[in-house]
Amino acid sequence: MKPPHGGKLVYRVDEKKDIDGISVIEINEDVAKDIENIAYGIFSPLEGFMCKSDFENVLEHMRLENDVAWTIPIVFDIENKIREGEEVLLKAKSGTTAIFEVEEVYKYDKKEYAEKVFKTTDIAHPGVKRVMEMKDKLAGGKITLVKEGKEKFEKYYLKPYETRILFKEKGWKDIVAFQTRNVPHIGHEYVQKTALTFADGIFINPIIGKKKKGDFKDEVILRSYEALIENYYLKNRAVMSILRTTMRYAGPKEAIFHAIIRKNFGCTHFIVGRDHAGVGNYYGPYEAHDIFNEFPDLGITPLFFRSFFFCKKCGGVVNEKICPHGKEHHIYYSGTAIRKMIMNGETPPETMMRKEVANIIMSYENPFID
């Protein structure tokens, strides 16, 4: 199996560690998720929150200080309570508890952070807004997870050391990862199955965590995928597990970040669709494809997909590379249109969405985040 990013799978968990007397700092659930992702090697090779040199390198060169590709800062913003050289206990309401060895406390420029990562300083961009609301200093240093937080969807919370063994046991060598934050429509299914045709298995990895208003609720996404997999996938060809992290909406840079994460889970290929991790019109529809040209050493192969659509003349699901007919013959799988239908209480037609999936979504009074 391919090695994790940076060569070694990080595992920074010690449930027996003595934490008596260490001063406690409360953290929010976003930070808690980052901590668990670091501790379980999902963010390998990171062993903690970024110190200044890594943070600046990521902004400037999309690489850690040691030249390993990395595009999204993983940082911990703090108030003045934390000092360099001390150990503090970070605790979240969900139960996540970790020791943080504070190596460095440093100032940063929020505008520069936003501009370099999101290519905009527009506060209407949810990622920019989040950065602008951060505290004024960052603290870097290693973390050790002492206690895992509660997870509502525990069954689906697999760690890289588990998926790597799982893939090996299934005899999968070529594993394609599919990132999602949406319920599946027919277009998604075709993308996945087209990729799966050339691989041994597909790893469906929905993002569970803070998203924006109007996105589907986590439970709806998971249950709709359960219905899709149960009814339309071979049991031994598809695995679903969650990725607990916050969507940054950093478009192309987040696409690289998402690919790295899936590499750590043991995947060899990563599907990149249209406007991956984008929001509004901040990124070009295929900018997230182009950025991969800058990373010859990523260690996971991107599979670029343009949208699938239904062609009435072809009589099936096609894409622009294989269908010679004009747009008047096409029916597009628009997530926005499907969302609108559901909001109006209309069940999406079977030409757009599997009935088992649609039934799950329609069974919710409100399937969207308020």
Partner 1 sequence: MTEKEGKGKYTTVSIPTPLAEKIKRRIEGTGFNSISSYVTYVLRELLASMEEEEEEVFSKEDEEKIKERLRALGYLD
Catalytic residues: 181-182
Residue recorded with tokens 């679903």: 240
Binding residue for partner 1, selected from 90, 166, 177, 267, defined by CB under 8 A: 166
**170 class by beta-carbon count within 10 Å (0-12 exposed, 13-18 middle, 19+ buried):** middle
Task: For residue 153, state whether it binds partner 1 (rule: CB under 8 A).
Answer: no
**Total Cβ atoms within 10 A of residue 292:** 19
Are the CB atoms for 247 and 181 separated by under 8 Å?
Answer: yes
Task: For residue 106, state whether it binds partner 1 (rule: CB under 8 A).
Answer: no
Taking the least distance from each CB to partner 1, the nearer of 170 and 329 is: 170
Say if residue 4 is preceded by a cis peptide, omega within 30 of 0: no
> In the bound complex, what is the minimum distance in angstroms from residue 370's beta carbon to partner 1?
31
**314 class by beta-carbon count within 10 Å (0-12 exposed, 13-18 middle, 19+ buried):** middle
Rounded CA-CA distance 282/119 in Å is 8
Residues that bind partner 1 (rule: CB under 8 A) add up to a total of: 28
Binding residue for partner 1, selected from 56, 174, 200, 356, defined by CB under 8 A: 56
Q: How far is CA 321 from CA 132, 194, 287, 308, 352, in A?
A: 42, 13, 19, 10, 20
Task: For residue 119, state whether it binds partner 1 (rule: CB under 8 A).
Answer: no
Binding residue for partner 1, selected from 91, 125, 142, 164, defined by CB under 8 A: 164
The answer for 134, left when phi > 0, alpha when psi is -120 to 50, beta otherwise, is: beta
Taking the least distance from each CB to partner 1, the nearer of 126 and 299 is: 299
Task: For residue 365, state whether it binds partner 1 (rule: CB under 8 A).
Answer: no
- Token readout for 29 is 């659930």
Give the interface segment with partner 1, choosing from 25-33, 81-89, 159-167, 350-358 (CB under 8 A): 159-167
Task: For residue 174, state whether it binds partner 1 (rule: CB under 8 A).
Answer: no
Task: For residue 297, state whether it binds partner 1 (rule: CB under 8 A).
Answer: yes
Q: Which residue type sits at 54?
A: D
Q: How far is CA 359 from CA 147, 187, 346, 356, in A?
A: 38, 18, 11, 5
Binding residue for partner 1, selected from 23, 24, 28, 61, defined by CB under 8 A: 61
> In the bound complex, what is the minimum distance in angstroms from residue 224's beta carbon to partner 1?
18
> In the bound complex, what is the minimum distance in angstroms from residue 151's beta carbon to partner 1?
13
Task: For residue 57, state whether it binds partner 1 (rule: CB under 8 A).
Answer: yes
Enter the DSSP assignment of 351: T
Please count the residues of the chain.
370
- Token readout for 155 is 């069954």
Binding residue for partner 1, selected from 109, 136, 294, 350, defined by CB under 8 A: 294
DSSP 26-52: EE-HHHHHHHHHHHTTTTTT--EEPPH
Q: Which residues contact 283 (CB under 8 A, 6 or more apart)?
A: 119, 251, 252, 275
Task: For residue 165, state whether it binds partner 1 (rule: CB under 8 A).
Answer: yes
Rounded CA-CA distance 272/287 in Å is 10
- Token readout for 11 is 């595992």
Task: For residue 123, state whether it binds partner 1 (rule: CB under 8 A).
Answer: no
> In the bound complex, what is the minimum distance in angstroms from residue 225's beta carbon to partner 1?
15
> In the bound complex, what is the minimum distance in angstroms from residue 58's beta carbon to partner 1?
11
Task: For residue 60, state whether it binds partner 1 (rule: CB under 8 A).
Answer: yes
Task: For residue 162, state whether it binds partner 1 (rule: CB under 8 A).
Answer: yes
Binding residue for partner 1, selected from 25, 134, 298, 362, defined by CB under 8 A: 298
> In the bound complex, what is the minimum distance in angstroms from residue 318's beta carbon to partner 1?
31
Binding residue for partner 1, selected from 197, 293, 336, 344, defined by CB under 8 A: 293
> In the bound complex, what is the minimum distance in angstroms from residue 226's beta carbon to partner 1?
11
Residues at the contact surface with partner 1, assessed by CB under 8 A: 1-4, 7, 9, 56-57, 60-61, 65, 67, 155, 158, 161-162, 164-166, 169-170, 239, 293-294, 296-299
